[in-house]
Structure 1
């Protein structure tokens, strides 16, 4: 709103550099958040019971999904008319989080809600991190493929989101700045 994008357009740089720079800076913030979370967990007694490599893989899974979701946010942020509306879009994240296995197991949910929760990318991420950190928990009942193979599902969700939203974001950014 203060002409920053006009300044960027006047500079001899790629038009997609701003979108990639934004998601890269979000990635740095995500890495910092994961590091703070890991240190705080270690201070209160958390230990990865399946070893350092699996724990690092779990953190990598978190960072990869965060990067993919930052492109989703970039796309939707480019579609709204101003910064205030973009900030209000963050409220839509809460229902997606609540409709996952992050807080409650899916076994006690009605069948229609369990289907939604089990195919939610955040459910796969949660289950994948639990598995890699050595705390998979006990899960009963019939489950969808993402819950049975959470690491693979999270990788597929992340790559799928990147394949879809990186080009959409880049195209939206280029169109918006013409």
Structure 2
């Protein structure tokens, strides 16, 4: 497994301190985030999933704890739009340059508006996808928010 991805290079270039955590990726897992949390021995609320959405028809990224569901209505409001809906997997892969199961909010091919669940800053550190299947980065929620220039909001259902 490569330890250097666009995501990790983005964090390095921003001067962010982070840890790398590899695990055995299971493509048949019902929830990739929950499977990652179990493999890492982490609280599922501390492992965040990256969802690509269309907010009023425009691409955006929603980052939320794997332990719960995202309210598309709340996500849209946090992004300053009227509505949000999930992108198709093909759209998400094309836009980000990452494969499903390995989509990181860091180092995406195109910069899009982002919102991260407000619980991210309550943890000493959170896990986010590191840019490939089976790789997570561990960093503070505030560092993630800052490097992504993400809005902070209550987006949980």
Please give the TM-score of this superposition, normalised by the length of structure 1: 0.28
Which is richer in helix?
1
**Higher fraction of strand:** 2
If you compute each CA radius of gyration, which structure gives the higher value, 1 or 2? 1
TM-score, scaled to structure 2:
0.30
